[in-house]
Homo-oligomer: A and B are copies of this chain.
Amino acid sequence: MPLSPNSIGLFTGTVLLGSDIPARYRHDRSGHVPSGAPEALVSAANVDDVRHAVRLAADSGWSVVVRGAGSGLAGAAAAGAGALVLDVSGLDQILEIATSDELAVVQPGVSAAVLDTEAHRHGLRYTPDPASTAISTIGGNIATNAGGLRCVKYGVTGDSVLGLTVVLADGELLHTGRRTAKGVAGFDLTSLFVGSEGTLGVIVAATVRLQPVPVDTVTVAAYFADIEQAAAACAAVLTARVRPAMLELLDEASLREAQNLLGVRAEAAGAFVVAQTDGFGARAEADRIAETFGRVTARVRVGTDAEAAHELLAVRRAALPALERHGRVLIEDIAVPRSRIAEAARKITEIAARHDSRIYTFGHAGDGNLHPIIVVPTDDPDAHPRAVAAADEIFATALELGGTITGEHGIGVLKRDWLACELGPRALRVQLAVRRALDPNALFNPGKAV
């Protein structure tokens, strides 16, 4: 029995066992609850706690389920029988901001929003902005390679990660990457850990890029007749050589719900697009966008200050909260080649009709990353199986269109069956070989992700 008072005494943070562990540590925001309850919860107060916890789990025959804010959408942090939950949200310090090198070193429990706020004091910002930025942690953002609204210009979370410090399965520390803008010494292990969903090690520190706060930001929004017209307008913006910092799309139903939630005058339209430009060319790029949109719709709004930007973006930000009022939501996350967005949206509408489900689609048009939201009313017991069938058809559609089953949320437990369809058996075997190389005894998140 390794869990002697001595081993408990090693920890600076809190250790809870069995039934003392609050129920919320069993699941994340996906709603997936595994069978059984975790064996132990370590709320790490420092890196040594993480190392001790990993060793304790290995010695006890438990698995390690790493957890930050528990805001994941794919179940990667779900913890059932046999698991030690390792909560790293207490490692929440910004260790360094190096202004002239435009980078920060942070612990995993820092939120992207807090880092961004702190960076602003130095004239810098942290560009990754997952929709969950206020509630999620940067460790979780890295573990899922989270996306967000600004990816179309600034890339996903991984594009801002220069290096990591990771606790491996043997409890030892690994440093990957660097503090320099470039570097090619050895394999890119940093990118391997980014998006690995807790299966390769525990991220205990990250060196991330910062970028200057742009000199100017302009927001452009427009209402379109239908999703095809909106998607074509988005494509035309990119063809016009504009690189917007955001290019977001809402379908008719999402727009209506968001307007209802905000209590604004409902402006009926078949689709809504909001774009943002930033940097020295922001106004010229915004003009080009407004002109491009203006060729097909008269309803174009341009906002040049923060207040106007906030107002124009409010509809986009309200979309998900508006839908969550109507029941449980399945938040899907496909990405397709940008040229197939309208086709994907139309097929989703057909799938909704076929499965008698309410599906609302919005997302990142600039990346081809769509979030079909399936609302499952709580008063209809048959709605859930219909929703699951609809989700399966949505995944199949994404793959048919040359896309992926997950653009930014990850595989977790919810999409494991579909991962094999996307990757195929050989790629899956290679992925498993890499996983075994780093975690030969399957300590980290067994049965999840790959």
Contacts and interface: CB of A to CB of B under 8 A. Distances in A.
A437 B427 contact: no
B339 A174 contact: no
B411 A151 contact: no
A152 B415 CA distance: 37
Interface string A92-133: 000000101110000000000000000000010000000000
A174 B430 contact: yes
Chain copies in complex = 2
A172 interface: yes
Interface stretch (A58-66, A313-321, A383-391, A401-409): A401-409
B338 A181 contact: yes
Interface of chain A, helix or strand or loop or mixed? loop
A404 B187 contact: no
Nearest to A405: B185
A178 B404 contact: yes
A127 to B, nearest CB: 12
A246 interface: no
Interface string A201-229: 00000000000111100000000000000
A434 B174 CA distance: 14
Contact of A238 (B156, B212, B242, B411): B212
Given A235-B100, A404-B183, A426-B174, A434 B189 contact: yes
A372 interface: no
A144 B185 CA distance: 10
A30 interface: no
A368 B180 contact: yes
Given A337-B179, A427-B174, A184 B410 contact: yes
Contact of A281 (B189, B195, B281, B430): B281
A339 B436 contact: no
Contact of A188 (B158, B407, B422): B158
Contact of A181 (B152, B427, B436, B450): B152
A159 B159 contact: yes
Contacts of A192: 187-188, 191-192, 434
Contact of A367 (B181, B213, B403, B428): B181
Given A172-B426, A174-B426, A280-B280, 17 more contacts: A102-B238, A145-B184, A147-B182, A151-B181, A175-B424, A180-B403, A181-B338, A182-B364, A182-B369, A182-B407, A183-B403, A185-B405, A185-B419, A185-B423, A186-B449, A191-B192, A281-B282
Interface of A: 98, 100-102, 123, 144-145, 147, 151-152, 155-156, 158-159, 168, 172-176, 178-189, 191-192, 194-196, 212-215, 235, 238-239, 241-243, 279-282, 284-285, 288, 335-339, 364, 366-369, 402-411, 415, 419, 422-424, 426-428, 430-431, 433-438, 449-450
12 contacts: A102-B238, A151-B181, A156-B182, A183-B404, A183-B407, A184-B408, A184-B410, A187-B192, A187-B450, A279-B279, A280-B281, A280-B282
